Structure 1
Amino acid sequence: MHDLVHDLALDVSQKECKTVNSETETVDENIRHLLLCDEKLVEVPRVLEEMKNVQTLIVQDGSMRSKIVDKSLINLCFSNFKYLRALKLRKSPLTALPKSIGTLKHLRDLDLGRCKDISELPKSFYKLRSLQWLDLGVSSLKQLPDSVQRLIELRHLVITIEAKHLKEIPAGCWTYLQYLELRTCMELECLPEGMQYLKSLRTLVLSNCYKLVSLPRSLKFLTKLEHLQIVSCLEMNLKMEPQEEEDKDLQLSLKTLSLVNLPALTDLPRLLLQGSSSTLQQLQIKFCQHLSVLPAWLLNVTSLHKLEIENCSNLSALPEGIDRLTNQRELRIHQCRKLSKRYRENGG
């Protein structure tokens, strides 16, 4: 931003925002948003004990701090900051959250990403009725807790579990959820039953789910899904053919599909792509060594703007007539040896 706008933003924010460390002695009572920035904190700054109206607390990378300090800090939050709306504890050494977390009635944003020692959530967790944004990625949760399923206002959820199967998603659960990411669920073999109930879902990300084999056909009911990203799911194959009469007239909304490091991939998900033939704009395929051809039906995806193919060493052909994709603005092919051999300058 322009220097003048930047200075104005700083001037305005200083009335409500403050960076605190172990040497901070005073904090204005009007401060609402705090950044605790001190990796080797040995005790909770005393100035925090005098504050009551904090709405945002961001605790920067806590991997260097002791569990005792973080536990004291969290207890202080729950006892003093009754109006807390956002709490970010990324990489905290905490092993558990206190039961009193349920008292934070106004909490909307909770970031527990990379809190690797948290293996369960307190029973009072379901009382966070206002929670809309929850990151439990790279934690040690054994299974998706019932208390998380009962958070009906959730819009954004990132989660890691150690189980082979996720609990079924019941009807009426997460009806407002727009973003779902399953990250580093290394034992997960399939997505949960009930995916069709996530009617508001716009983005689905599956990353480092090494044993995940396929996508459920129930995804065809997610008519608002716009972005699908699948990364480093080593057993994943996406063969999804239309099977029923209704599959031929699917009206889906996918805009971007990204497939990265899927060594078992031999087919693209025809059901989803043809259902999105008038909406899909970007298709990215990278490090899919067993994909040998792009299917002819891909030419039906007439809305495609960008096709990116990288490090697909066995891909030997593009569909005949690919020039019929008249909306395409960018075609990028990189490190595809067999395709490179067929390339002829000025000849195609």
Structure 2
Amino acid sequence: MHDLMHDLALRVAGDECKIVNLNEGSINGGIRHASFASQSSSPQEVTSILEPNNLRTFLSLKKSRTFVQNGILSKFRHCRVLGLGYAHFGVPTSLGNRSKHLRYLDISENLSMESMPNSITDLLNLQTLKLSNCKHLKTLPRDLKKLVNLRHLLINGCDSLSHLPSLSEFPSLRTLNLMGLDALEFLQEISYPEHSNTTRPFFPSLERLSLLDSRNLKGWWGRRQMVGADQDRARYNLQPSFAKLLSAAILGCPHLNSVPLFPLIEYLNIASAELLEQVMAVLDCQSKAPVESTFIPLSKLKGLHFAGGDLEHSMLETLLPVLNNLESMSLNDYPKLKSLSRGMQYLSSLQHLVIDACEELDLSSHDDKHGIQWRSLVKLRIELCDNLTSLPEWIYNFSSLKVLEIIGCESLRRFPEGILRLGNLEEKVRVIGNVPLAENIF
């Protein structure tokens, strides 16, 4: 069946789509979409046997480094999709003038490029720009915001990039992925957000944000201090907010202490207690707001993942009561967390809960008020919680529970009798690791 589908796909594609192999001899000049992965050939060798004027797609899939002629980009005047991975060349200053039709541009693993030419801002049709592991890239064009149709910007592993142009004014940007930018300290070089022009748009279309593994990133704004609980409501009102942000992952940035507000967020993956404290300050300001301002930030949150950091019980006490729509939550690597917050009782929509590497956590001390509200819980996973000696008696309230996993909790000695009343479990409790009860659960 697979071979039939493959043959059908080739027939539909006809001669316009081709994985180029130089050993095949002559190649049809009508190819419009070409890719090659040969480790023994270079992009210029491939383009020399194609008709560049016909090409709409050119993708280099090879993973061995090649030095190519600087004029190679001039051969792709009509390309819509251009991917040049592991190819070393200086990007010509005329890029924007010669490749105006580009929708997708991927320049990855380029060790020759130190700057992007200003002419890239003339690529008005560009929708995706990907710069990955360009180790010597130091600057991007100041007026990058002129790319009015840019929807996806991915900058990954560009170790020398210490400054970014203003990104907040891209009118169409939906995805922003910044990863492994070790030289970057601030995302916007202004003293305070309230000093900026508030009439300018602030990421008007951004839906997905990833800030990952940038160990020297200190804040969103240059020299801006973290929002504290003692700040007045005036500053809270002046702080920019993402208008449409639905998903954010902020991980591996240990010194990051400020981000814009994300009141409509639905999925949040975070690993910083400092940023969580900023969220607490926002909720505190909201609680002091006039009655007519009743919208609660984070009330639309459906998925919440805490990963590492000094999470404190008091933080959960403040945060959890507003998360009525939360469906999935995980607590990962919080060795000082000794008990769950009573705020857990407000999570009436919670379906999936993961507790991982919370070494001091003890569930046996909680009363049954927590379990009553968890009737929607479908999956519970507890892993590497060394201080866990027993599950709570109120587990029988988890009437919808289908999956229960206990992994590597070596101190666990007792299962409550209420576990026998969990009639919706699809199979017996799954226990993995050196747990004494693994062979005799019921």
Q: With the length of structure 1 as denominator, give the TM-score of the two structures.
A: 0.74
Map 1:158-197 onto structure 2 (within 5 A): 158-160=210-212, 162-163=217-218, 173-174=241-242, 176-187=244-255, 188-190=272-274, 191=276, 192-193=278-279, 194=282, 197=297
CA contact (8 A) 1:96 1:120 kept: yes
Match of 1:99 in 2: 142
Residues 144-193 of structure 1: CA deviation (Å, up to 9, x unaligned): 6569x932433222224644996588788335333222212335333132
Cα distance change on mapping 1:90 and 1:315 into 2, 3 Å: farther
CA contact (8 A) 1:179 1:202 kept: no
Q: Mean alpha-carbon deviation: is it higher for 292-301 or for 124-133? A: 292-301
Match of 1:203 in 2: 303
Shift of 1:37: 5.0
Matched residue type, 1:150: F
CA contact (8 A) 2:152 2:174 kept: yes
CA contact (8 A) 2:352 2:377 kept: yes
Select which of 113, 118, 121 maps to 1:69.
113
Shift of 1:287: 1.9
Map 1:302-341 onto structure 2 (within 5 A): 302-330=399-427, 331-340=429-438
Cα distance change on mapping 1:176 and 1:212 into 2, 3 Å: same
Matched residue type, 1:304: L
CA RMSD after TM alignment: 4.1
Match of 2:128 in 1: 86
Cα distance change on mapping 1:311 and 1:84 into 2, 3 Å: same
Cα distance change on mapping 1:184 and 1:83 into 2, 3 Å: same
Shift of 1:321: 1.1
Cα distance change on mapping 1:202 and 1:128 into 2, 3 Å: farther
CA contact (8 A) 2:395 2:418 kept: no
Structure whose alpha-carbon radius of gyration is higher? 2
Cα distance change on mapping 1:38 and 1:228 into 2, 3 Å: same
CA contact (8 A) 1:202 1:227 kept: yes
Match of 1:221 in 2: 322
Q: Which runs of 5+ in 2 are unaligned?
A: 18-30, 37-41, 77-94, 220-224, 229-235, 256-271, 284-295
- Paired with 1:113 and 1:255, the residues of 2 have a C-alpha distance of 34
Matched residue type, 1:173: S
Map 1:264-279 onto structure 2 (within 5 A): 264-267=360-363, 277-279=374-376
Cα distance change on mapping 1:150 and 1:323 into 2, 3 Å: farther
Match of 2:356 in 1: 260
- Paired with 2:374 and 2:58, the residues of 1 have a C-alpha distance of 45
- Paired with 1:181 and 1:106, the residues of 2 have a C-alpha distance of 24
Match of 1:31 in 2: 56
Cα distance change on mapping 1:312 and 1:223 into 2, 3 Å: same
Match of 2:377 in 1: 280
- Paired with 1:127 and 1:318, the residues of 2 have a C-alpha distance of 56
- Paired with 2:2 and 2:160, the residues of 1 have a C-alpha distance of 43
Q: With the length of structure 2 as denominator, give the TM-score of the two structures.
A: 0.61
Match of 1:57 in 2: 105
Cα distance change on mapping 1:69 and 1:306 into 2, 3 Å: same
Match of 1:22 in 2: 43
- Paired with 2:395 and 2:173, the residues of 1 have a C-alpha distance of 40
- Paired with 2:363 and 2:102, the residues of 1 have a C-alpha distance of 52
CA contact (8 A) 1:179 1:203 kept: no
CA contact (8 A) 2:328 2:351 kept: yes
Matched residue type, 2:349: S
Match of 1:132 in 2: 174
Cα distance change on mapping 1:102 and 1:37 into 2, 3 Å: farther
- Whether 1:155 aligns to 2:201 is no
Match of 2:155 in 1: 112
Residues 45-83 of structure 1: CA deviation (Å, up to 9, x unaligned): 4234443222223344x2xx32x42634xx378245322
Select which of 396, 405, 415 maps to 1:299.
396
Map 1:237-252 onto structure 2 (within 5 A): 239-242=340-343, 250=346, 252=348
- Paired with 1:71 and 1:301, the residues of 2 have a C-alpha distance of 57
Aligned-pair identity (%): 24
Residues 242-273 of structure 1: CA deviation (Å, up to 9, x unaligned): 4xxxx85x464333223333334445999997
- Paired with 2:100 and 2:374, the residues of 1 have a C-alpha distance of 53
Matched residue type, 2:254: M
Specify the SS of the correspondent of 2:394: helix
Higher relative contact order (CA 8 A, sep 6+): 1
Q: Which runs of 5+ in 1 are unaligned?
A: none
Q: Mean alpha-carbon deviation: is it higher for 94-103 or for 227-236? A: 227-236
CA contact (8 A) 2:145 2:170 kept: yes
CA contact (8 A) 1:179 1:204 kept: no
Shift of 1:240: 1.0
Matched residue type, 2:390: V
Specify the SS of the correspondent of 1:177: coil
